[in-house]
Amino acid sequence: MTDIAQNSQSKLEALNQWVLEVARLTRPDRIHWCDGSDAENEALIQAMQADGTLIKLNEDTHPNSYLHRSHPDDVARVEHLTFVCTTNRDDAGPNNHWMAPELARQQMDSLFEGCMEGRTMYVVPYCMGPIDSPLSRCGVEITDSAYVVANMRIMTRMGAPALARIERDGSYVKGLHSTGDLNPDRRFIMHFPEELEIQSFGSGYGGNALLGKKCHALRIASHQAQSEGWLAEHMLILGIENPKGDKHYIAAAFPSACGKTNLAMLIPPEGYVRDGWKITTIGDDICWMRPGADGRLYAINPEAGFFGVAPGTSEKSNPNALASLQRDAIFTNVAVTDDNQPWWEGLDKRVPAIDWRGNVYDFNAGKPAAHPNSRFTVSAKQCPSYSPMAEDPQGVPISAIVFGGRRASLVPLVFEARDWTHGVLVGAAMGSETTAAATGAVGVMRRDPMAMKPFCGYNFADYFAHWLSFDQANAKLPKVFHVNWFRKGDAGDFLWPGFGDNMRVLEWMLKRVAGEVDSQETPIGHLPKIEDVNLEGVELSQEAREKLFGYDREGWRHEFASIGEYLDEYGPRMPEALKDEQKATARSLG
């Protein structure tokens, strides 16, 4: 405990006290304060190779890259075991599992008691966002997992600079994590937003264990943002530059594993590249936004890395991601080829040798070789499209906000909200089919407002009211759009090519932002006139044209009845303005 003594006289006294308290409860053999240095990382990687936590991948093809195989019962977020522990149950809302803070603390104390015996306790100071940004916020994660430390080092600004900022600010989110015995029956992810605290036990999986990510940057931050007048959102941020050199930034919310990473790193179709269009990446998962002095919303990506879904990532779907993964990456639960390269379904035609559990892969068994939620962790700076603006302390001004879900039927390719209130309704009404990013059934349609169902740290009714409150007299708010890349035809095939071709939809949005084209006005919003979307080189069947660019009044009538019922589930806290907007649309649908 000698390192602690060094800090004990400093302004970090309260932090030291908390670390000692946690050590008394969890009884680690050693305490290590992480400085984030290369030497520290190398030592951790070596130790993890020695104890089997990491397996070195092919050094020639993937230098300094490692594979981690998790416990097979610990492969995704656990929404049913994730709680928001506010004093009043209604503040957490029907969108969250709730537990009384005292009960939750008692329960967690008994799990944490002695859980680090024989282990090292790592103290990980981190900053979410550029170290010198007024929009950034810090945290300290205490963990007994070296894998978590190595991932936090990639995903956040971790170590000495973060500790220095904590010393300056004096405030930080306290996160306590232990993998425990990885028993799913002794697994809980608890949030105490009123005390800016997180406690996570029994899982080493990213979304449950890298506390800077979902727990801090979304659940705790959304709560904090509500009282401080900003927004913490499950959104990618991309930059788009047209041939004239005009730059715009777009923030887009999609549920987990619905293509945020692919869209954030999009490479435009050939014709666009030739004409001088360019996409740059600010972030692929989380966006913190606040109004600037000019009334526009300014956004930062609080993360420093990508924790992306591996399956489906290929030269076709996301060449920038593949280029990022050529070195210095951690892969979790992917398969490996016979020459020890990482492999996953959709990457290429090779047949892997070993599956994600470490067994010889049996092609004929018909099971995926990589886990469907297998992941890569890599520094954002390795991405060829990464924008230096991601490091700008002021953030980037947002011209358009995009909501989108995975909807096989009904929802057209793109439409624009009439105004901000309608845009909030469009976000609130979002639905999507569930994916492997969380445990539970896959492919079930559920409401996932603003893609925040698993991540909003307070009552959705209050969250929608908070969104509505940005519509001030001096505000210059972004336009709001909804997209659906996943519409299927009667034969069950996807109707839109997606990936790079999504550029065509982004271009239409920018034309709308610039007031260059008009639209078809419908009760659900403004749909593009098909001739205003550049479809050169895209072959669309008649069915695709009708379904992607048309709207089915009868189907939307049912949808709006269901949206009305959904809003009513929140009772009297649901803002009247949102209910009125829903009713007005329902009426105009007849």
Catalytic site positions: 258
Which residue is listed with tokens 């839109």?
A: 496
Interacting residues of 351 by C-beta distance below 8 A, sequence separation 6+? 361, 363
Provide the annotated binding site for substrate.
Answer: 77, 205-207, 256, 373-375
Query: Which DSSP symbol is given to 273?
Result: H
Give the nearer residue to ligand OXD in terms of CB position, either 15 or 401. 401
Q: Which is nearer to ligand OXD, 142 or 264 (CB)?
A: 264
Find the Cα–Cα–Cα–Cα dihedral 99, 101, 106, 107, rounded to 10°: 30
Instruction: Tell me the closest approach of the beta carbon of residue 254 to Mn ion, in angstroms.
Output: 9
Q: Would you list which residues are annotated within the binding site for GTP?
A: 257-262, 375, 406, 499-502
Tell me the residue number closest to ligand OXD, measured at CB.
Answer: 256
DSSP 43-54: HHHHHHHHTTS-
Smallest gap from residue 438 Cβ to ligand OXD (A): 7
Q: Residue 259 or 525: which CB sits closer to Mn ion?
A: 259
Phi, psi at 381, each rounded to 5°: -65, -15
Amino acid, res. 115: C
Nearest distance, CB of residue 297 and Mn ion, angstroms: 20
Pick what 448 binds: ligand OXD, Mn ion, none; C-beta below 5 to 8 Å, kind-dependent: none
Q: Which does 284 bind (CB under 5 to 8 A by kind): Mn ion, ligand OXD, none?
A: none
Number of chain positions touching ligand OXD (CB under 6 A): 7
Interacting partner of 207 out of ligand OXD, Mn ion, none (Cβ under 5 to 8 A depending on kind): ligand OXD
Measured from the CB atom, the residue of 74 and 285 that comes closer to Mn ion is 285
Amino acid at 313: T
Residues 52-81 binding ligand OXD (CB under 6 A) are 77
Which listed residue (256, 333, 374, 399) binds ligand OXD by CB under 6 A? 256
C-alpha dihedral sign at 466, 467, 468, 472: positive
Where helices occur in 229-363 by DSSP H, the ranges are 260-264, 270-275, 319-324
- Contact between 421 and 428 under an 8 Å Cβ cutoff? The reply is no
- Write down how long the chain is: 590
Q: Which is nearer to Mn ion, 108 or 438 (CB)?
A: 438
| Residue 307 binds ligand OXD, judged by CB under 6 A | yes
User: What's the min distance (Å) between Cβ of 338 and ligand OXD?
Assistant: 30
Smallest gap, in angstroms, from Cβ of residue 189 to ligand OXD? 12
Which residue of this chain has its Cβ atom nearest to Mn ion in the complex? 285
Q: How far is the CB of 6 from Mn ion (least distance, A)?
A: 37
Q: What are phi and psi of 102, to 5 degrees?
A: -65, -45
Q: How far is Cα 6 from Cα 123, in angstroms, rounded to an integer?
A: 14
Which CB atom, from 361 or from 455, has the smaller least distance to ligand OXD?
A: 455
Judged by DSSP in three states, 416 sits in: strand
Q: Which of residues 434-463 bind ligand OXD (CB under 6 A)?
A: 437
| Pattern 188-227, ligand OXD, x by CB under 6 A | ------------------xx--------------------
d(C-alpha 380, C-alpha 230), whole Å: 24
* List of residues contacting Mn ion (CB under 5 A): 256, 285
Compute the C-alpha angle 258/260/264, nearest 5°. Answer: 155
Q: Please check whether residue 98 is in contact with residue 86, taking contact to mean a CB–CB distance below 8 angstroms.
A: yes
Identify the residue among 40, 144, 285, 345 touching ligand OXD (CB under 6 A): 285
Shortest separation between residue 216's beta carbon and ligand OXD, angstroms = 13
Q: Give the Cα separation of 189 and 217 in Å (integer).
A: 15
In angstroms, rounded to a whole number, what is the distance separating the alpha carbons of residues 382 and 397? 24
Cα within 13 Å of Cα(64), Cβ side: 11
DSSP one-letter code for 453: T
437 binds, among Mn ion, ligand OXD, none (CB under 5 to 8 A by kind): ligand OXD
Q: How far is CA 227 from the centre of its chain?
A: 22
Q: Is 433 in the site for ligand OXD (CB under 6 A)?
A: no
Nearest to ligand OXD of 188, 307 (CB atom) = 307
Residues that bind ligand OXD (CB under 6 A): 77, 206-207, 256, 285, 307, 437
